Amino acid sequence: MSEPEAGRSGSASQAERASVLQLVFRRRGALIGAGWIGVLVLISVFAPFIANSRPLVMSVEGQLSSPLLQNLSAVDVTLLLAGFLTLVVCVIRLSASVRIAVVGIASLLCFLLCSQLLNPSRLTVHEQYRDASRAGQIEWLVSAPIPWSPKDYLRDFGDTGLQPPLIQSSRVHLMGTEENGADLLSRMVHASRLALGIGIVATGIALGLGVLLGGLMGYFSGWIDMLGMRVVEIFEAVPTLFLLLTFVAFFDRSLYMMMVIIGLTSWPGYARYVRAEFLRLRQLDYVQAAIVAGLPLQSILFRHILPNAAAPVLVAASFGVASAILAEATLSFLGLGLVDDPSWGQMLNQAVQSSTFNWWMALFPGFAIFMTVFSYNLIGESLRDALDPLVAENTAATPGARTASGKA
Amino acid sequence: MLLQVTGLQTNLQIGEHSIQVVRDLDLHLRAGETLCLVGESGSGKSITALSIMRLLPAIASHPAGRIGLQRNTGERDTGEADDLLTLDETALGKIRGRRMAMIFQEPMSSLNPVFTIGEQIVEALQFCHPDMSWDAARDIAIETLREVQIDDAQDRFDDYPHRLSGGQRQRVMIAMALVCEPDILIADEPTTALDVTVQAEILALIRRLQLERSMAVLFITHDLGVVAQIADRVAVMRDGRIVETGAREDVLFHPAHDYTRQLLAALPENLPADIASPEAGEVLAGVSDLQVHFPRRGGLFRTVRSYVRAVDGVSLQIRRGEIVALVGESGSGKSTLGRALVRLIKPTAGEIHFDGTNVTGFSRRDFHSYRRRMQFVFQDPLSSLNPRLNIQTALCEPMAVHEIGESAEDRVERAARLLEDVQLPREFLWRYPHEFSGGQRQRVGIARALATQPEFIVCDEVTSALDVSVQAELLQLLMNLRLRFNLSLLFITHNISVVEYISDKTAVMHRGKLVEFGDTDSVCGSPAEEYTRQLISAVPRIRAA
């Protein structure tokens, strides 16, 4: 792309993109979905500040300190920076690829730096601040809105275990406590990171693989297509959940392994979509025109075909995020998720563990999973609806076609 | 008066806007006559037909007007008429198919592919005669198939639509429309998708059936040649209004309205032939004994079963500065030949020459410098432009690839000048393809082809999707550009009148083979081959009776 047109074409394509977004958000469903996801993103970025046993600021013998800030992990800091950069980048006018690159590179650097520099204490005695406070060692403190960490098992209270919300008079647990006595709301807040992360990363892996392989199969067809489709069929035949179960049984329970497995088993769907679009678009005159003009292959593939093939893939991806979240929740529900880290599915698991039905363990995480999956589905559906008529609208934009509704 | 439309108005509700597509339209139709409704795209002629059939979707409304359909015909006529606009769906159901039938443009999609043609005709028949037995209906259906000149009607009855050609399907559609013996047949561009020879047969068929049954026909078309063949009376539409009505001879030979005169003047045969042809130079591009075969695959392992010989041994030479027209009916291989010439399709055998070099076996890299010198303009101006790129990008990208222009700014300036060359304002550089009309898009397509400063351009049916007036401008533009840039053109078309106007030489293709090649005057004036003669005589023309 040459320089002088960048400004003007940028604004034009922004107008075009804005109209797609407007169309998406004209639908109430998409608004609800995006609203819920937005709230989740905020919660997961600020999770340590929302729910933490460590005081935000405290004064010990006249000395001010912040145990919360001192114990932030590399992930916490990176998420904060990424969130902040995203806001900044949205305000500054930049092209989409530059925006993504800025946020991505900065976050990666930040993560690498922080994991070297920061050393949050590995073993935390959560009740130390409460004990100190009771003993009068702390003059005053400002605590987080939810003064419980997700892994704070309240050992200083003798009555820990499954308890419904708000039955203790001495302390507030808005959503009750789980089997080890940790505050459920705090765990819910921290689990939102896992839910968002697994959905986005797993779908990202699947999308990347699917677009690359599907695009190659569709454009080159012939032998590459033949072989590629067989690979697609092989991967489609792998049952995700059983593969996850097998890996969990043999190897360590790791979040990243789950993301990779879900990603590696769900790319064939995207590959099929992209392949079909490439097969169709390859025959279209404007791609033929690009070939006749002697344009290089990468321009034909990434400039003339891919942007026009993106719509159905994006729709499929938003449904894919939802199903990745469900896969993790299922695994955790079966008791094969992460060991200690909070996850909505694992909380659900506890709803029926002791012979009584612990309704608060079913209601809150269940609602969260439902809302998140539902939100992604709503967004996906609105995207699909918004992208379809836009194509029709563009074709009908000629004066002739408008009056005659395509006929004549 | 069989059908009397007065003051008809049709509005379409699109989003928040109500668009008037038919305004204050009056027309009438007597039994046994053919009224041609002629107009360019967007003039509202199809909407008028659908309004009369009351087939428009819910977004359409009729704020004013009356469509009077005579209640009884023949001797039982009492002069009473029903206003179709006031009837409900049940009453309309009794009129559609029985009193008024309709045939459409696309014979390929108008028949249901999962039923045999016989079943579809019988269904139509049992709709208006619910008591009729299958055997009786079958006999009548076969009789009707014979009447529309389907060979072996008895056997064809059990065939599925995919086994019929386009012309045969249109005959079946006509049979379905006629089987209930309607008083009025509305034909919406029934021959536009067909080849000229088939079109001539279908027109003759409609004419004959109409005379036999003394049926009234409302025939919608954009083609004035067809009007001359079939009409008794003509109504010219523009912007939802009828600007002129009258008997065929009056309208075609003594048009009263300016718009009708413009339409007639825009026909290729009426265009002024004042642009001189340059002297033809040496041979620039050519093929010798070119064959393009497409494999037909089948079975478990997709093995090649047979070949479609799209181009089967064609030799053709185009000299510098020459316009060669390539004519043929659909499926004759003319587009395949054009695409093979610029190496969009790999030939099976034979040689492609360009400027004295055999470029057949060239690799992508070797061919790159030739890519610049030979360009292609596509038929469908909408699908030949990437909807997501603006015109500036579409024009500058090929220039950058072929290192034309010193800098990005220079290329933008060149692109702007190209737009001016094709008579578009330079501000259009920043627009996107969907913001243009069909004719403007085709100009952009030509500008893009010119961007690489080619010597040779293949134009594949560049005017087929356009209205006559736009076509006329585009043809004149091409003639001028040819002179200015000393271009050689291979002009692929099915329209003989365009060939006569634009080309120096004409090549006629039939079933993958070159039938005849020579000067346009001799090929079109005194064709040597039988096939060329058939083709040329089938072209509907306007001649004084």
| Same fold for the pair B32-46+88-269 and B283-538 | yes
pLDDT at A7 over 60: no
Q: Confirm or reject contact between A280 and chain B (CB < 8 A).
A: no
Question: Looking at the 3D structure of chain A, how many domains does it have?
Answer: 3
Indicate whether A324 and A344 sit together in one domain.
yes
Nearest CA in chain A to B22: A403
Q: What is the dihedral of CA B150, B153, B157, B159, to 10 degrees?
A: -60
A233 and A359 both lie in a single domain: yes
Q: Specify if A151 maps to a domain.
A: yes
Distance of alpha carbon A34 from alpha carbon B465, whole angstroms: 43
Average pLDDT of chain A is 82
Supply the angle between the helices B258-265 and B468-485 in degrees, to the nearest 10: 40
For residue range A315-332, list pLDDT tens digits in order.
888 888 888 888 888 888
Q: What is the pLDDT of residues B283-341, one digit of tens each?
A: 899 999 999 998 887 777 777 778 888 899 999 999 998 999 999 888 888 999 999 99
> What is the CATH number for A378?
1.10.3720.10
- Domain extents for chain B? 32-46+88-269, 283-538
Contacts of residue B240 in chain A, CB cutoff 8 Å? 403
Residue A165 in any domain: the answer is no
- Chain B interface, mutation test: which of A283, A286, A297, A308, most B Cβ atoms within 10 Å? A286
Distance, in angstroms, between B374 CA and closest chain A CA?
A: 8
- In terms of CA atoms, which chain B residue is nearest residue A280? B383
The 3-state secondary structure of chain A, one letter per residue: CCCCCHHHHHHHHHHHHHHHHHHHHHCHHHHHHHHHHHHHHHHHHCHHHHECCCCCEEEECCEEECHHHHCCCHHHHHHHHHHHHHHHHHHCCCCHHHHHHHHHHHHHHHHHHHHHHCCCCCCCCCCHHHHHHHCCCEEEEECCCECCCCCCCCCCCCCCCCECCCCCCCCCCCCCECCCCCEHHHHHHHHHHHHHHHHHHHHHHHHHHHHHHHHHHHHHCHHHHHHHHHHHHHHHCCCHHHHHHHHHHHCCCCHHHHHHHHHHHHHHHHHHHHHHHHHHHHCCHHHHHHHHCCCCHHHHHHHHHHHHHHHHHHHHHHHHHHHHHHHHHHHHHCCCCCCCCCCHHHHHHHCCCCCCCCHHHHHHHHHHHHHHHHHHHHHHHHHHHHHHHHHHHHHCCCHHHHHHCCCC
Contact call for A404 and B401, based on CB within 8 A: no
> B385 and chain A: CB distance < 8 Å anywhere?
yes
Mean pLDDT score, A228-232 = 93
- Mutation site for A-interface testing, chosen from B61, B386, B399 by largest number of A Cβ within 10 Å: B386
In degrees, rounded to 5, the angle at the alpha carbon of residue B43 between the alpha carbons of residues B42 and B44 is 90
Lowest mean pLDDT among A3-17, A129-143, B273-287: A3-17
- The β-bridge partners of B458 are B376, B490
Note the pLDDT of residue B305.
Answer: 79
Contact B41 A290 (CB under 8 A): no
In a domain, A322, yes or no: yes
N residues, chain B? 545
List of chain B residues whose C-beta atoms are within 8 Å of the C-beta of residue A303: 386, 389, 397
- Asked whether the whole model's pTM tops 0.90, one would answer no
- Determine the pLDDT at residue A407: 35
Nearest to B380 among A13, A285, A407 (CB): A285
Q: Give the Å distances, CA to CA, from B303 to A226, B295, B296, B297, B299.
A: 13, 9, 8, 5, 7
- Please indicate whether, in this complex, the C-beta atoms of B437 and A399 are within 8 angstroms of each other: yes
Report chain A residues whose CB lies below 8 A from the CB of B44: 403-404, 408
Distance CA B302, CA B290 (A): 26
A145 and A283 in a single domain? The answer is no
Q: Are residues A210 and A318 in the same domain?
A: yes
Touching A: B residues 264-323, CB under 8 Å: none
- Put simply, whether A294 touches B (Cβ < 8 Å) is yes
Is A401 a domain residue? Answer: no
- A30 and A99: one domain? no
Is residue A132 located within the same domain as residue A277?
Answer: no
Q: Is B371 close to A304, i.e. CB distance below 8 A?
A: no
Q: Which pLDDT score is estimated for A275? A: 93
Q: Does A408 touch chain B (CB under 8 A)?
A: yes
pLDDT band at A3 (very low <50, low <70, confident <90, very high): very low
Question: Which percentage of chain A shows pLDDT scores above 90?
Answer: 22
Domain spanning B283-538: CATH 3.40.50.300: yes
**Residue B143: helix, strand or coil by DSSP?**
helix
Q: Is the pLDDT of residue A12 over 50?
A: no
Residues A111 and A94 in one domain: yes
Closest-CA distance of chain A to residue B59, Å: 11
Sign of CA dihedral A169, A172, A178, A180: negative
Residue A405 Cα, gap to closest chain B Cα (Å): 8
A213 to chain B nearest CA, in Å?
A: 22
The beta-carbon neighbor of A294 closest among B371, B380, B430 is B371
- For the domain B32-46+88-269, what is the CATH code? 3.40.50.300
Residues A244 and A378 in one domain: yes
List CB contacts (< 8 A) between A4 and chain B. 408-409, 412
Q: Is B261 on the interface with A (CB under 8 A)?
A: no
Nearest CA in chain A to B192: A408
- Measured between its terminal Cα atoms, the distance across chain B in Å is 28
- Give the pLDDT confidence score for residue A394 in this predicted structure: 44
- What is the average pLDDT across A100-111? 90
Q: Which candidate from B43, B371, B432 shows the least CB-CB separation from A408?
A: B43
User: Residue A183 falls within a domain, yes or no?
Assistant: no
Query: In this structure, which amino acid lies at residue B290?
Result: L
Question: Domain for residue A184, yes or no?
Answer: no
Whether B376 and A289 lie within 8 Å, measured CB to CB: yes
Yes or no, beta carbons of B240 and A403 under 8 Å apart: yes
In chain A, which residues have their Cβ closer than 8 Å to the Cβ of B344? 288, 291-292
pLDDT of residue A406: 35
* A5·B379 Cβ contact <8 A: no
Residue A117, pLDDT score: 85
- Do residue A349 and residue A271 come from a single domain? yes
Q: Does A222 touch chain B (CB under 8 A)?
A: no
Q: Quick check: B121 and B208 in contact, CB under 8 A?
A: no
Q: What's the rounded mean pLDDT across residues A283-306?
A: 88
Are A39 and A80 within one domain? no
- Angle at the Cα of B39 (from B33 to B45), degrees rounded to 5? 70
* Residues of chain B below pLDDT 70: 274-276, 544-545
Phi and psi at residue A46, to the nearest 5°: -100, 15
Which of the residue ranges A172-176, A382-386, B307-311, B330-334 would you say has the lowest mean pLDDT?
Answer: A382-386
pLDDT in the model for residue B544: 56
Residues of chain A with pLDDT > 70: what percent? 89
**Assigned domain for A330 exists:** yes
Are A307 and A253 in the same domain? yes
Residues A126, A233, single domain; the answer is: no
Touching A: B residues 492-511, CB under 8 Å:
none
Per-residue pLDDT at A68 exceeds 60: yes
Q: Is B545 helix (H, G, I), strand (E, B) or coil?
A: coil
> pLDDT of A145-155, one tens digit each?
888 888 888 88
Do A304 and B21 make contact, defined as CB atoms within 8 angstroms? no
How crowded is residue A2: how many other Cβ atoms within 10 Å of its Cβ?
20
Classify burial at A376, counting beta carbons within 10 Å of its beta carbon; exposed 0-12, middle 13-18, buried 19 or more: buried
Q: Report which DSSP code applies to B96.
A: B
The answer as to whether A402 is a domain residue is no
- The model's confidence at residue A18, banded by pLDDT at 50, 70 and 90, is low
Chains A, B: CB pairs < 8 Å: 147
What tokens were used for A164?
């419904």
Residue type, B252: L
> What residues make up the domain containing A108?
75-120
CA–CA separation, A5 and B18 (whole Å): 37
Question: DSSP of B471-533, one letter per residue?
Answer: HHHHHHHHHHHHHHHT-EEEEEES-HHHHHHH-SEEEEEETTEEEEEEEHHHHHHS-SSHHHH
Q: Using the beta-carbon criterion (under 8 Å), do A303 and B376 form an inter-chain contact?
A: no
Nearest to A408 among B42, B380, B387 (CB): B42
* Residue tagged 């002739």 (tokens): A400
Angstrom distance (rounded) from CA B8 to CA A381: 41
Q: Do A394 and B387 touch (CB under 8 A)?
A: yes
With an 8 Å Cβ cutoff, is A316 touching chain B?
no
Q: Is A399 on the interface with B (CB under 8 A)?
A: yes
